[in-house]
């Protein structure tokens, strides 16, 4: 396959990240953790390959991952922080589904982030 025909490769497993709903890069962009100016330079990985982020997704479309077992495990974090993080990451994940399914009527990448992220960046 030509390089231009291949999508982003996961920095963890080396496989192609085929859907935006599998993307750590785009989830982090949508929730405001990656600046639009460096989006094209940031590394990519599958959500499943990034359990410290994936553990915060509470959506029926995302199959639960094995519990994280270190200092970054959701149960080891401050409960208020964990709840806020879960709400934000889940909203971001749902936004990725809106984009994937075309329900968000988003045409440009700079419109992908959550509304409060776009507001903060403008």
User: Comparing 1 with 53, which gets the higher pLDDT?
Assistant: 53
pLDDT at 107: 76
> How many angstroms separate the CA atoms of 43 and 64, rounded?
23
Handedness of CA 68, 114, 99, 95 (dihedral sign): positive
Biggest distance spanned by C-alpha atoms of the chain: 47
pLDDT, mean of residues 8-31: 96
Q: How many beta carbons lie within 10 A of that of residue 97, not counting itself?
A: 16
Cβ(114)–Cβ(89) below 8 Å: no
Tens of pLDDT, residue by residue over 1-13, are 344 556 789 999 9
| pLDDT score for 6 | 62
Domain boundaries, the chain: 3-121
**122 vs 14: which has the higher pLDDT:** 14
- In order of 5, 11, 55, the CA distances from 2 in angstroms are 5, 19, 34
pTM: 0.90
């Amino acid at each position: 396959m030509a390089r231009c025909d291949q999508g982003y490769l996961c920095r963890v497993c080396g496989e192609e990240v085929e859907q935006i709903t599998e993307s750590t890069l785009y989830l982090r962009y949508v929730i405001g953790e990656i600046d639009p100016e460096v989006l094209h330079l940031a590394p990519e990985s599958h959500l499943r390959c990034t359990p410290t982020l994936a553990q915060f997704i509470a959506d029926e479309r995302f199959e639960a991952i094995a519990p994280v077992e270190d200092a970054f495990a959701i149960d080891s974090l401050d409960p208020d922080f964990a709840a806020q993080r879960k709400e934000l990451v889940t909203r971001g994940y749902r936004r990725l589904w809106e984009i994937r399914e075309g329900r968000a009527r988003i045409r440009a990448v700079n419109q992908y982030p959550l509304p409060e992220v776009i507001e903060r960046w403008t």
